[in-house]
Structure 1
């Protein structure tokens, strides 16, 4: 029982360290044709957005909205995938205990 508690504490410490590393990373998302680019921190906060002037069509404002949504969703998907790869190994171990 004591050995299992030591393993749990060690795993918690490793998981916290990897979480900090992930939160310090930047994740870029792009829309189709890369007309909109966004950057998020690992804490899921947008830190930057670049919009190509070609994406700004006064006759079609919905297109720009769609491009921004696509770029944001791309970045958030990358954060989720990284989280699964980095932290998923701990949740898999915990569910097996």
Structure 2
């Protein structure tokens, strides 16, 4: 008599166990995503002249610019500093999200997940 289920998968009892694990992982991921939304990453450029905060949702929360860095004669430098700080904060947020979600997924890289 042939076994039910997929070859090498061990049949229905293991499939049920796998489904429970997937459901648990999904719940854990939802909790982690909610917690990440509350976290912030901060980065600065120009020796602290520009400070940017980004949420775990990868949204810019705030940009602080010290008055002494604002020079109407050199707007390009200010733009570069803002861009550098935003990019660094976004990288930090991405790293934070990947690290936290990696804990939930056991390090599995699931495309499009986060």
TM-score above 0.5, yes or no? yes
Q: Is the 8 A contact 2:58 2:94 kept in 1?
A: no
Gaps of 5+ in 2: 1-14
Name the structure 2 match of 1:29: 43
Alpha-carbon spacing, 1:26–1:57, altered in 2? closer, same or farther (3 Å): same
Alpha-carbon spacing, 1:87–1:38, altered in 2? closer, same or farther (3 Å): same
Aligned length: 95
In 2, Cα distance between equivalents of 1:57 and 1:42: 32
In 2, Cα distance between equivalents of 1:43 and 1:93: 21
TM-score by length of 1: 0.88
Q: SS of 1:33's equivalent?
A: coil
Name the structure 1 match of 2:95: 81
Q: Give me the CA root mean square deviation.
A: 1.6
Larger Rg: 2
TM-score by length of 2: 0.76
Q: 2:25 aligned with 1:11, yes or no?
A: yes
Equivalent residue in structure 1 for 2:55, among 37, 41, 63: 41
Tell me the CA shift for residue 56 of structure 1. Answer: 0.8
Higher relative contact order (CA 8 A, sep 6+): 1
